[in-house]
């Protein structure tokens, strides 16, 4: 974080100073967790459904916090700033830091692929800077109304670019975080059933994601996929704004004639499912070889390339960055084991779109392939129908076997079964035992593990890895 005075903080959050005199001490960081407070930090007491930071305000001061921001008088004298709403104060402080640093900013939202696109962008922009500055990028899942402010508060004057994920589980959340972020380029990567229960259906998801475009200036660029089911809605809503489209051969016909800004042609998947393609614009054509499996990563790469071209990053940096990027842990992270088992860890999260993409990857790989699925969460009243949909999709894609665990995934199992191999398990322990038994029977086996965060499918991955050792190849190698 940039160094600011407590008085500067108070000007931007409009707090009430409880002490005598002006609040002038220097702030070097912000924390909302008293356990992570360092000397020089400002502690903001956030209140949630199961916690209240006000209970830890004194602890934060004891650990060296300069002051605390609270929503009620804690009798802490000149070490407290009282505001009506501490969560709102956190956002306003983050927005002030963003204005002060003023990096070129790319905002990303979508139902899936946000993290992959973010990592692509961070790699490309870092290559472009060549040490002349830094790139701020969202860490982990810090993409909600608390995570986005905390991300922005990490900005320093060394940051030339900021790449910020904007997620949501209800309407209005992206509108709020976009107001803090004010991106120069705003991307909707895709729209798929995810967090549906908070939006009243897939159309509600699309409307919520479109809130990212509200703060674009007259020079800002909106970017969307031409192959989205909501393409026509995007076009109508973005009339009068700079609107760039991307897509790839097969997703739309004759991409160069569809009004696209960036597109892919001559896509080739190698035996491990990694794509090479021509990255095309009206002025250039460059060959890209991805180190990440899946046709969906072609779309992710096009999204990242579009964002970079919108801020005038040269194509040489874009091609190099896309080609060099390795998979993100938990997202198509490949482990080759000495017992002949290959585990593809895609357990970080799941929705219908990302599950279908994972099935597409698995269906292109050689040998006997098993798709392991935990429940997809937050899909509302149509949750069972969505699980049935992915079960049918896996069967039609030619996946050899489907192993499922969880109440909802039973529906995927039922839809997949018949003459195909499908097994449902009551718990992850029995699921893992069955997989390990199968490894002994089959010398070459590929298992892709996926599920929503609430399913904790990373536990299955960990158990499989704990019962074997990696080959001489480094863990986390791609399948390419």
- How far is it between the farthest Cα atoms of the chain? 79
Annotated binding site: 110-116
Residues ≥6 apart with Cβ < 8 Å to 40:
26, 27, 28, 29, 64, 66
Backbone angles phi, psi at 314, to 5 degrees: -65, 150
In DSSP terms, 4 is beta-bridged to 27
What 3-state class would DSSP assign to 237? helix
- Which residue spans within 90-131 are E strands per DSSP? 104-109
Contact indicator for 278, 266 with CB cutoff of 8 Å? yes
Task: Give the containing element (helix H, strand E) for 394.
Answer: helix 383-397
Order of all β-strands in the sheet with 185-188:
134-137, 159-165, 104-109, 185-188, 221-225, 242-248, 262-269, 274-280, 285-293
Contact indicator for 108, 187 with CB cutoff of 8 Å? yes
Distance, CA of 260 to CA of 243 (rounded, Å): 10
Contact indicator for 183, 272 with CB cutoff of 8 Å? no
In DSSP terms, 27 is beta-bridged to 4
Contact indicator for 352, 112 with CB cutoff of 8 Å? no
195, 351, 424 from 205: Cα distances, Å: 8, 13, 30
Annotated binding site for ATP: 110-116
Closest CA to 455 of 393, 420, 403, 400: 403
């Amino acid at each position: 974080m940039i160094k600011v005075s407590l008085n500067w903080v108070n000007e931007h959050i409009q707090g009430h100073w409880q002490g005598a005199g002006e609040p002038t001490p220097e702030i070097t960081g912000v924390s909302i967790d008293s356990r992570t407070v360092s000397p020089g930090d400002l502690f903001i007491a956030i209140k949630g459904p199961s916690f209240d930071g006000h209970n830890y305000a004194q602890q934060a001061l004891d650990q060296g916090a300069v002051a605390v921001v609270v929503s009620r008088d804690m009798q802490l004298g000149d070490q407290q700033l009282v505001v009506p709403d501490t969560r709102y104060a956190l956002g306003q402080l983050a927005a002030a830091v963003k204005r002060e640093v003023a990096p070129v900013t790319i905002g990303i939202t979508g139902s899936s692929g946000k993290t992959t696109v973010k990592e692509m962008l961070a790699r490309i922009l870092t290559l472009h800077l060549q040490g002349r500055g830094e790139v701020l990028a969202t860490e982990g899942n810090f993409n909600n109304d608390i995570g986005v402010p905390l991300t922005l508060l990490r900005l320093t004057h060394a940051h030339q670019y900021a790449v910020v994920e904007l997620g949501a589980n209800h309407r209005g959340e992206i509108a709020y975080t976009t107001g803090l972020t004010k991106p120069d380029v705003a991307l909707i990567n895709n729209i798929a059933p995810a967090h549906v229960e908070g939006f009243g259906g897939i159309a509600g998801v699309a409307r919520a994601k479109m809130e990212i475009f509200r703060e674009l200036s007259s020079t800002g660029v909106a970017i969307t996929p031409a192959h989205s089911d909501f393409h026509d809605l995007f076009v109508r809503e973005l009339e009068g704004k700079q609107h760039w489209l991307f897509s790839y051969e097969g997703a739309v016909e004759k991409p160069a004639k569809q009004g696209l800004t960036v597109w892919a042609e001559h896509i080739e998947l190698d035996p491990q499912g990694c794509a090479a393609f021509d990255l095309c614009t009206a002025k250039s054509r460059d060959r890209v070889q991805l180190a990440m499996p899946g046709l969906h990563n072609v779309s992710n790469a096009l999204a990242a390339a579009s964002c970079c071209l919108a801020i005038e990053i040269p194509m040489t940096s874009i091609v190099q960055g896309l080609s060099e990027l390795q998979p993100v842990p938990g997202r198509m992270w490949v482990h080759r084991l000495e017992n002949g088992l290959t585990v593809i860890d895609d357990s970080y999260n799941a929705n219908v779109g990302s599950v279908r993409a994972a099935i597409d990857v698995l269906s292109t790989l050689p040998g006997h392939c098993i798709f392991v699925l935990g429940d997809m969460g937050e899909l509302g009243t149509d949750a069972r129908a969505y699980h049935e949909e992915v079960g049918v999709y896996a069967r039609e894609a030619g996946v050899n076997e489907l192993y499922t665990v969880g109440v909802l995934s039973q529906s995927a199992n039922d839809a997949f079964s018949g003459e195909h191999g499908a097994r449902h398990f009551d718990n992850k322990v029995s699921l893992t035992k069955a997989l390990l038994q199968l490894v002994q029977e089959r010398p070459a086996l590929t298992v892709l593990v996926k599920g929503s965060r609430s399913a904790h499918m990373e536990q299955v991955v960990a158990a499989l890895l704990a019962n074997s050792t990696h080959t001489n190849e480094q863990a986390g190698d791609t399948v390419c």
